[in-house]
Structure 1
Amino acid sequence: MFDIKIFEEMDLNEKYENMVSMLEALISDETDFITNLSNASALINALVGRVNWCGFYLMKNGELVLGPFQGMPACTRIQVGKGVCGTAVEDKKTLIVEDVHKFEGHIACDSASNSEIVVPIIKDDIVYGVLDIDSMEFGRFTSLEKEYLEKCVYVLNKYIDWINI
């Protein structure tokens, strides 16, 4: 049973450290990638907070395709180099966008989104997808979220066999 109340008294560092540990505990004994990405999006969505969308896009046939997520219905396909997600794939680096309306080529799936962080999922120099999180707040994401979300992707890479998806 998951009880989010246990995190109410924790500072952000402690909360995020627990998020990474819980993610590893959730996925370490499970081999189904849909199950693992579903639980990852639910956990991250619950613990990062103040977000309106949290999920994954996976590389398939040279484009990003919508995977497990929490939030409103989303764009189903994103070309590499397009929008924040496609740019993160092309650049192979995490992007934090304080105001998505000022990001040239931003793809607005949810009109309520104002800021975004996208962490590419890279293993052995191959991009397999992205972890994408949106917030209704401008400037919501900081280097702290970047650090811990990259740790979450590291845990996913440890247990998910991306090549066979």
Structure 2
Amino acid sequence: MDIAAKKQRYAETAQEIAAVLDGETNLIARMATVSNILHHAFDHYFWTGFYLVDPDKPEELVIGPYQGTLGCLRIPFGKGVCGAAAASGETQVVEDVHAFPDHIACDARSESEIVVPVRNAKGALIAVFDVDSDEKAMFDEIDQQALEAILEESFAL
């Protein structure tokens, strides 16, 4: 997909997500909707979903709504790509997950990954949004900017 087409697809997807979420306040319903719409909007999205900060174990992520194969159930902050995003508060874009230190292979077919921290209106980390591809180097700055914008609009309630 060329750059212009990718940007256009994200713009259309962002509008669809905003329209569907309009008036919905339930966090899990919002997460399920976002993961579903994004997963089906892009052919290279192999696994798409959320890991929520566990309120009982605040330094651990627990599986949330997702699309794709079985995901890891729990990920400690600082471990793997999701844990790195949670610990640092920064989006992680990884061209080759097998070269990422301490990578967690929930599905061995994953080759590249992007993980975006998700914050509520008060700025507190509530989850990370994780997308895996079964091809290397499938995520870039366009994905990062678009996903960060979609997630901020969808969860800064």
TM-score by length of 2: 0.91
Q: Does 1:47 find its partner at 2:41?
A: yes
1:39 CA displacement: 1.1
Match of 1:90 among 87, 93, 109: 87
Q: Counterparts of 2:74 and 2:89 in 1: how far apart (Å)?
A: 18
> Is residue 112–residue 136 contact of structure 1 (8 Å, CA) maintained in 2?
yes
Q: CA deviation at 1:30?
A: 1.4
TM-score, structure 1 length as denominator? 0.86
Counterpart in 1 of 2:67?
A: 70
Shift in Å at residue 151 of structure 1? 1.0
Q: Could you report, residue by residue, the CA deviation over 1:59-88 in whole angstroms, capped at 9, with x for unpaired residues?
A: 012110000000001110000011100101
1:122 maps to which residue? 119
Give the percent of matched residue pairs that are identical in Structure 1 and Structure 2: 37
RMSD: 1.3
Specify every segment of 5 or more residues in structure 2 that has no aligned partner in the other structure, as ranges: none
1:162 maps to none
For 1:111, the equivalent position in structure 2 comes to 108
Count of residue pairs brought into register by the alignment: 150
Could you list the runs of 4 or more consecutive aligned residues of structure 1 that deviate by over 2 angstroms after TM superposition?
122-125
Q: Is 1:11 the equivalent of 2:9? A: no
Offset from partner CA, 1:83-140 (integer Å, 9 cap, x none): 1001011111000000000001000001100000000012334211100000011000
